[in-house]
Structures are given as structure tokens and as C-alpha cells.
Chain A
């Protein structure tokens, strides 16, 4: 079967770092996506990891371990505008999404 888990909510302070974990189980895996979704808006693409390791894009980094079925999204130097839901999804030809992690950034 297929399963993907991520925490429901996280809270952090402006300027801090937050790590959102995502674990998955699937019989077929081609890569893992991360999306950001602000309330009332469509998800927007953040990253796609195919190989093990860390990929950095400015304040956001994404890590993948295929052998462990594990990924995380690292948000550094948090800003108020980073308050949003963060969705992970694995790619097994079609995308399967987790329920999302709501991140609240406090001043």
C-alpha cells in the first residue's frame, strides 16, 4: 500500500529555523515534492528531490533518504509570510500527497 505522514501543525518564532518531516511508504518511488500553500490559494512548487541528500534553494532546503523513506523541508530565517501549509508528495507516476503541515510563524 501507499502511505505518507507529516505533522499536522508546527509553530516557530520569526527568524528561527523549522524542520518539517515527511515519511512515506510506497512500492514505487521516483522522487519527492514539497509544496507551499497559503490559505485560500493553490499549492506552489518548492522543490523536487530524486537523489539522496540535501538540496538548497535560498532559505529553503529539502533532504531525501530513499532507503529510510524520509524527507524533510528546512525553513531558515523564518518570516511572517512563511506561515502556510507545507505539503509533501511522493511521485510514483502520479502524485500522492500528505495531509500537510500548517506552520505558524510568531513575532
Chain B
């Protein structure tokens, strides 16, 4: 399995508090992603990174910020958590492989279950 971990694995917090989720990889992959998964919506991209200090927004980025100060860590921050951010958050790392071939792979971390009361 790819070397990707997430912390914490479970968190319960209150509305209005800041929350930071950590994704750590040992694969030295350039690309890292944060998704949220909710019933009926599948996996939705929040933010992604294509290198140290290089990040971009996904389709559901409002209320979230990210930082990547080193290759192995990608942090997701909820500045002021809301109940609508209760979800399961998955980090993923990607090795694009050789262009035009089926060698592109993306692996997911174990997930963080966040509950905002």
C-alpha cells in the first residue's frame, strides 16, 4: 500500500472553532489532493497541490484553506467550522506516471471523519 496517513482519524468539534487536518506521505509524490465524501455526492475535490507551495481550488473550496510547506505534508484548515462541513475527508496522492500510458495512479489515505456540532 502507498505510504499515506491522515490525522486525526476522528474528530468532533463545535461550530465556529478552527480545525486542521493533516495528510502525510512517504512516497515523495508531487500531487496531493483533499476530497470530502458525503452521501449522494460522491467524492468532491476541495483543494489540490502540484508542488511545495503550489495549490489550487477544487469544486467545493469555500470555507477551506490549505498549505503545503514540504513535499510530504498537505494540511487542510477549516477556519471556522460549520455543521455543513461534517463529512469524511480523504487525502490522496498521485503519481502521474508516463504520459499517454496507463501508469497514472492515485491512492487514498484512510480518511478523517469530522463531526461539527
Asked if residues A94 and B42 are in contact (CB atoms below 8 Å), the reply is: no
- Complex CA gap A91/B100 in Å reads 12
Contact A48 B108 (CB under 8 A): no
Category for how many chain B residues contact A: 20 to 34
A48-86 interface (Cβ within 8 A of B): 48-51, 55
- CB of A30 within 8 A of chain B? yes
Q: Report A6-63 residues with CB < 8 Å from chain B CB.
A: 30-31, 33, 35, 41-45, 47-51, 55
**Is the Cβ of B45 less than 8 Å from the Cβ of A94?**
yes
Query: Quick one: closest A residue to B107, CB to CB?
Result: A45
Q: A50-B100, A94-B58, A95-B33 are in contact. Are A42 and B110 (CB under 8 A)?
A: yes
How far, in angstroms, from A61 to B25 measured CA to CA in the complex? 29
Would you call A91 and B108 a contact (CB within 8 A)? no
Query: B residues within 8 A CB of A97?
Result: 35, 42-44
Cα–Cα distance between A99 and B40 once the two chains are bound (Å): 6
B48 at the interface (CB under 8 A from A): yes
